[in-house]
Amino acid sequence: MSKYAPSTTNQKILIAKFMNKHGSINRYHADAIGVCHLAARIYELRNKGFKISSISQLATDPHGIEHKGISRYWFDYKAMTKEQIETLNKLLGKS
């Protein structure tokens, strides 16, 4: 049986749910949940109006190797309007 990556739309939902539950996401978290090209999905979410902040930091991959400059992303709820938060809640299936 073949396994396929989720569609880009479903990847954005997975990212949003992960950030909502865990507070943030980096490329290694994204890989673990089946998301390809995290930066591209973040770009698409930002283009939908979501306020997402990021920081570049040291991160350890699943093999225990440390990498510099790995971006960590999170929703900047304080910078979002009420409408943006409502749209996010719809994406998360909360309304």
For 24-64, what is each residue's pLDDT tens digit?
A: 999 999 999 999 899 999 999 999 999 999 999 999 999 99
Which residue range is the domain that position 75 belongs to?
8-85
2 in a structural domain? no
71 in a structural domain? yes
Q: Domain containing 27 — which CATH number?
A: 1.10.10
3 in a structural domain? no
Helix (H, G, I), strand (E, B) or coil at 25: strand
* Whole-number Å distance between alpha carbons of 42 and 48: 10
Q: At 3, is the pLDDT very low, low, confident or very high (cuts 50, 70, 90)?
A: confident
16 in a structural domain? yes
Residue corresponding to tokens 């396994």? 3
Long-range contacts formed by 4-10: CB under 8 A, 24+ apart: 5/34, 5/35, 5/36, 6/34, 6/35, 8/41, 8/44
Average pLDDT (63-68) is 96
